[in-house]
Amino acid sequence: MTGVYTTNGTSDTNWPNYFHDVLRLTSTKTGKAWVLDITGVQYGMYRTLWSAEEFLQTHVEVIKSVRPYPGTNKNSIANACQTIGPAGQIFSKTQEAVRRLEKAITAWVKTNDMSLKSLLKLEGEAFDQKKESLLRDMDQAVRTFIRSSNFRIKMK
């Protein structure tokens, strides 16, 4: 849970006052869907990638909204980071986590000389090996972000 401590001594947490955002990724080839949850650790959820079905069954009570990414959603989050108060702080930390994750994916693509689109075209064992490699790099990026972040942020 993310706690926000104000300069006047009050505090607020993001649950149940705020909702938890995740990314839903759907394969255009197979239709299989996954949920990427890079900030779930604040709720004790240490996995970053779930099948959409498993995530929805075990962790979702209500879906408040579905927004496209990138584009309007990315711009909306960037604008929300400028909000004064707890919500702005939470969005700012989320953006920082996303930037770290994007950097890890970009590095993986370069190291493996393979686009994500090319990854999806692989089959069988070749796909499984590359997928696991990418997920390990993403997982490491999120873990590093969590270990190195100060979640006790002073209010703007």
Q: 35-93 pLDDT, tens per residue? A: 888 777 776 777 888 899 998 888 777 777 776 655 556 666 677 777 777 667 777 78
Q: pLDDT band at 1, cuts 50/70/90?
A: very low
Q: Which residues fall within 8 angstroms of residue 1, CB to CB, at 6 or more apart?
A: 13, 14, 15, 42, 43
CA distances from 20 to 36, 38, 131 (A): 12, 10, 26
pLDDT at 130: 95
**All residues at 6 or more sequence positions from 126 whose CB lies less than 8 Å from its CB, including other chains:** none
CA 43 to chain centre: 13
Taking alpha carbons only, the member of 34, 26, 22, 19 closest to residue 64 is: 19
Residue 10: the pLDDT is 61
Least confident of 37-41, 95-99, 138-142: 37-41
